[in-house]
Chain A
Amino acid sequence: MNSKSIKIIFVIIALFLSVELTLRMAQPYLSKDIKHYKALASIVEKFDKSEVDKVLFIGNSLTREGVDKEKFEKNEKGLTLIRPDDTTVTEWFWIFKSKIYDKDIKVTDLAIIFVGDQLEDKPLKEQNLVSISNIVNTSEMFSVREFEVLSLSDLITLTLSHFSVTFASRERVQRRVLDLLPMYREQSRIINRSLVEGHVQSSKDKKKATYKHLLELIKLAQEKNIHLTFISSPLLKAYTLDRDLLNIFNKSESISFINAKDEVQVDKTDFQDGYHLNKEGASKFTEYILEAKTFSF
């Protein structure tokens, strides 16, 4: 190798290190989610120390937008929300295992708000791996490898995301930059919508759903005597739930199921975008949850 090659390698390494350093400093400003992931330990610790009756919610933006905190407080109940965006049962399982079960946090009631097939196992995508890498500690990486079915590529993605902020923040940086382009956001929504429509059409020959993450979460929760409440959130577009999933809910007394998707009367005035509830919708939804009286308080 000649000196020119060495200099160029040096520049590439220096570049990578400076990007890494910059992103480490800018990370909390890059995304609210990252901030939320970083705060998970303190959220759970605060929850553990609190003396009032309280429910811990784990979910995604449906939980963030759907649960009306004021309604809970009016009923003199406390609640804590863990709700990173774009997550499903895979991430919820790792949040529960890593931050609650392994840390022996005292939880009486754990509630999970979901829609459609969010409790089913899905093939891991890069986004899931990045989320898991944000949730678990380095010492827990081995148990991720043991529990999840990981290809070599998945394993490398998980490891790189765990140790490199640059790698883990790729999608967020991309979004921030491309958002500066005229109509980029609208264009990607159009493409995403057409992909979802295509996916729905091709999902007729869908394989039987599996629930490895959900069953393990239930098993760990039962070990710690935690009462689980699963809540199906209403959407503008109706959806059905898998029979096997309903059987899982019915199997144990320590599990309650609130079928809010069919019972809460909502229309399009209750939604921000057809998916997330607005203030009025959240109020109706929370009221219904509280009336269902499935929590132990």
Chain B
Amino acid sequence: MLFNSYTFWTFYLLVFLAYWALKHRHQNTLLLIASYVFYGAWDWRFLFLIFTSTLIDFILAQYIHGASIQKRKKFYLVLSIIANLTVLGFFKYYNFFSFELNSLFVNIGITSMLPTLDVILPVGISFYTFQTMSYSIDVYRDEIKPTRNFKDYALYVSFFPQLVAGPIERSSRLLPQVLHKRKWEKDYFLEGLYLIFYGLFLKIVIADNMAPITNYIFSKDASQLGSLEILLGIYAFAFQIYGDFAGYSSIARGIAKWLGFDLMVNFRMPYFAKDPSDFWKRWHISLSSWFRDYVYIPLGGNRDGKLASHRNLILTMFLSGLWHGAAWTYVLWGILHGLYLSIFNVFKIKKGKPSAGKNRVKSVFSMILMFHLVCLAWLLFRAKDFDQAWSFLIRLFSLSMEVSTFFIGSVSLMVFYIVPLLSYEYWTEKRGLMALSKHSVVVQALFYVYIIIMLLFFPSPTAHEFIYFQF
């Protein structure tokens, strides 16, 4: 059930109508059932997995909280983390590691016995596993008290708007919203409407229209392409993945808002970031803050000297890359971002305040540079393997500047779709994320006129699934 399908909106309409007719406790029951229906619509077998994962963390969190000795608390926490990582590791990484180990064994002359299993990757497993882990860790750190109601906890884990592609919510933020009575605030309608329409625009108009360009370029051999075409393919992917993922998050926030929930902001105009650190405060915020709080800081953060800080950054980003997928390209993508962060920390020299004019030029230059560094990393992320990424990179810097028909056609399409998006996001960057809802009816109406016309008349001829479901 995809957010960009009629089936989902029919389902949501029914849930919405029933939801506001019920009292709080029954609302939670309805949302839990709806969430399991939503998840089971992909594959009913996934339900056993999410239920087991929920049950394990629910019980272990009670034990963590109830344990009187620190050692015992730690034991239950480790048990919870092992359980979660085993599930994730088996479904997501088993085949990857078994393949790599087999190759290694064969290379050193040992016949390997590790079989390759035909396992389906359950949709959104990385998202809800991280959400349940954060719950156990927060209980261990005494940041929250575990809930005694299994139904409420199960709803926290499986809440359908953010179940399959985030935002990865912290228990301290989402659980109280599950436990307490929710009210319909007067601004909720417009805020939800804005988030839903903007999210659908990002997905249906931006991401899906960039996908054919990206797919075409990445289906070719590097020798068949010119430098400009490769650059174009990477730019198209940068906007495809942004539209896809930020679009999903925005719709998730919008539909949750209409149910009285406030989910965290997951994207904040990331391509206007001026440095790597700034980028990660704008891109997939719920994941980057998860890694910061549960990996980077526990590893020591920047407390143990510069060298350790660099190690911690690269290790954290390595894990973040691995989280995205079981492939070396993702791992290298993570390491590359770790290097960006480390290098940025080395060169972050405080200078005197430059003049306003100089400052603006510097800002624009930093944004363009950062965007291209991110694009360079996207090449690794999108390539089917390291060989393709490398051959594309070599071809990109060979500076073969032929201007093909495909290039001109694609550039004109990108201008048509991307320039209005960037102009609007620049405006939002200056005025704040929800600036539009504070504007006059005329300004808002103009926004909706544009969005609706684009949604009605300019969807991609072929709809694409959300990329982040695979993670």
> Which residues of chain B come closer than 8 Å to A4, judged between CB atoms?
190, 441, 444
A187 close to chain B: CB less than 8 A: yes
Q: How far is the CB of A176 from chain B (nearest CB, A)?
A: 9
A174 to B417, alpha carbons, bound, how many Å? 13
A231 to B217, alpha carbons, bound, how many Å? 39
Q: Number of contact residues on B: which range applies? A: 20 to 34
Q: Which residue of A lies closest to B186 (CB)?
A: A2
B44 close to chain A: CB less than 8 A: no
Report if A8-B457 is in contact (Cβ < 8 Å); known contacts: A181-B412, A187-B413, A198-B219.
no
> Which residues of chain B come closer than 8 Å to A15, judged between CB atoms?
445, 448-449, 452
Q: Which residue of A lies closest to B10 (CB)?
A: A152
A186 to B449, alpha carbons, bound, how many Å? 30
Inter-chain contact A194/B216, CB cutoff 8 Å: yes
Inter-chain contact A177/B445, CB cutoff 8 Å: no
Inter-chain contact B413/A16, CB cutoff 8 Å: no
**A4-23: which have CB < 8 Å to B?**
4-5, 7-8, 11-12, 15-16, 19
Q: Which residue of A lies closest to B460 (CB)?
A: A174
Q: Is the interface of A mostly helix, strand, loop or mixed?
A: helix
Q: Which residue of B lies closest to A174 (CB)?
A: B457
> Which residues of chain A come closer than 8 Å to B5, judged between CB atoms?
153
A184 close to chain B: CB less than 8 A: yes
B78 close to chain A: CB less than 8 A: no
A155 to B408, alpha carbons, bound, how many Å? 38
| B6 contact from A2, A157, A185, Cβ within 8 A | A157
B59 close to chain A: CB less than 8 A: no
> Which residues of chain A come closer than 8 Å to B458, judged between CB atoms?
174, 177
> Which residues of chain B come closer than 8 Å to A8, judged between CB atoms?
190, 193, 441, 444-445, 448
A12 to B457, alpha carbons, bound, how many Å? 15
Q: How far is the CB of A133 from chain B (nearest CB, A)?
A: 15
B42 close to chain A: CB less than 8 A: no
A187 to B405, alpha carbons, bound, how many Å? 6
Residue from the set B10, B441, B453 with the largest chain A CB neighbour count within 10 Å: B441
A166 to B456, alpha carbons, bound, how many Å? 8
B416 close to chain A: CB less than 8 A: yes
A165 to B195, alpha carbons, bound, how many Å? 27
Q: Which residue of A lies closest to B5 (CB)?
A: A153
Total A residues in contact with B, Cβ cutoff 8 Å: 36
Report if A181-B413 is in contact (Cβ < 8 Å); known contacts: A15-B449, A187-B406, A198-B219.
yes
> Which residues of chain A come closer than 8 Å to B449, judged between CB atoms?
11, 15
> Which residues of chain A come closer than 8 Å to B448, judged between CB atoms?
8, 11-12, 15
Bitwise interface map of B from 1 to 20 toward A, beta carbon under 8 Å scored 1, else 0:
00001110010000000000
Q: How far is the CB of A202 from chain B (nearest CB, A)?
A: 12
A1 close to chain B: CB less than 8 A: yes
**B434-461: which have CB < 8 Å to A?**
441, 444-445, 448-449, 452-453, 456-459, 461
Report if A184-B459 is in contact (Cβ < 8 Å); known contacts: A4-B190, A153-B7.
no
**B171-219: which have CB < 8 Å to A?**
186-187, 189-190, 193, 212-213, 216, 219
Interface residues in chain B, defined as those with a beta carbon under 8 Å from any beta carbon in chain A = 5-7, 10, 186-187, 189-190, 193, 212-213, 216, 219, 405-406, 408-410, 412-413, 416, 441, 444-445, 448-449, 452-453, 456-459, 461
